[in-house]
Amino acid sequence: MELDRRAFFLSVGGAAALSLMDSEAKADALEHHMMMQFQAAAAIPGTGGTQKFPTVAEIDAQIETRPARRGVGNLFTSVRGNVKKLPPMPEKPTLIDFFNLRFATTRNHCLQSANRAMKTGMTEEVILACLLHDTVQEVMKTDHGWWGAAMYEPYVSEKVSFAIRYHQALRFYPDHAAGYEYPDLYKRMFGEDYVPPKYIQDTYEMVKKHRWYMEPRLVTVNDLYAFEPGVNPQLEQFTDIIGRNFKQPKEGLGNDNSPVAHMWRTASHPDSPL
Ligand SMILES: [Fe+2]
Ligand SMILES: [Fe+2]
């Protein structure tokens, strides 16, 4: 896929904002931008995803034109050429190690969301949920709210996993009072006439009446797909919140025999053939 330089500059808040980023942040921003362009363009060929919103039928007609399904995790595919060799993981990997070595595609987006949540005075649980909310997409994109909540459930509070699980469904439903509108990105990715399946509708109805509704809702409010000018959040900003709210297993993620250890091992070793 060709890089639209103008669209990329706009996505990071302009050339001046880009010049303030270090090279790692620039690479992350580019990776994220390419991934979003890829997902949007995959909806309808030749448009770059920017000229018009496709219909559900048009998106459906594209399924057999691609070598991979749209739900495949980022670690298992590449938007530019072949996949790259991954750096080895430490013996006892921590959440920070996964952010640094495996969450390359989702990292920036999640840092951006957590940064916004922090700046707007959200609770530590909402900030942590924002930081983690899409990271499971490195392994699996389809139903990522549920996959993500499962992956984090043994290590975070119930409120945090609730927020991660249900942000996926709430993304389809605007809440003007909370400041969340239906995203154009979803019109490109799902089709302008898309109607969420029944389990998403039912989930929304359930969560809407739940006493923790605002937890996943605030994840959607902070779920940004654009970069703010001059804002370049770093993982170090969240070290204390992770320390207080994430139960890091002493054996390392993937080695603790938890019911989801295999998910972490899959992220550690995505080249394993079986
Ligand atoms: Fe998400
Ligand atoms: Fe997100």
- Chain segment 3-31, per-residue pLDDT in tens: 555 555 545 545 555 565 556 556 556 65
DSSP string, 74-143: GGG--SSSSPPPPPPPPSS--HHHHHHHT-TTTHHHHHHHHHHHHHTT--HHHHHHHHHTTGGGGTB-TT
Are 169 and 204 within 8 A, CB to CB? yes
pLDDT of residue 47: 45
Q: Name the one residue in this structure whose structure tokens are 């595609």.
A: 105
Which of 23, 224, 235, 236 minimizes the C-alpha distance to 109? 224
Distance, in Å, from the CA atom of 127 to the CA atom of 118, rounded to the nearest integer, reads 6
Alpha-carbon gap, residue 238 to 88, rounded angstroms: 24
pLDDT in the model for residue 79: 84
pLDDT at 1: 45
Residue 124 CA, ligand 2 centroid: distance in Å: 18
For residue 225, the ligand closest to its alpha carbon is: 2
Ligand 1 center to 91 CA (angstroms) = 29
pLDDT in tens, 187-225: 999 999 999 999 999 999 999 999 999 999 999 999 976
The whole model's pTM is what? 0.86
How many angstroms does the Cα of residue 58 sit away from the middle of ligand 2?
A: 24
- Cα 222 to averaged position of ligand 2 atoms, centre (Å): 8
What are the angstrom distances between the C-alpha of 158 and each of 122, 164, 171?
Answer: 17, 10, 20
| 216 alpha carbon, closest ligand | 1
Which residues are within 8 A (CB) of 128 and not within 5 positions of it... i.e. 6 or more apart? 114, 156, 160, 238, 241, 242, 245, 246
**In a structure prediction context, what are the per-residue pLDDT tens digits for the chain, which is 274 residues long?**
445 555 555 455 455 555 655 565 565 566 566 666 555 554 444 444 456 899 999 999 999 999 999 999 999 999 889 999 999 999 999 999 999 999 999 999 999 999 999 999 999 999 999 999 999 999 999 999 999 999 999 999 999 999 999 999 999 999 999 999 999 999 999 999 999 999 999 999 999 999 999 999 999 999 976 656 667 899 999 999 999 999 999 999 999 999 999 999 999 999 999 9
Report the largest interatomic distance among the alpha carbons of the chain, rounded to a whole angstrom.
Answer: 50
Interval between CA 216 and ligand 1 midpoint (Å): 10
Q: From the CA of 14, how far away is ligand 1's center (Å)?
A: 25
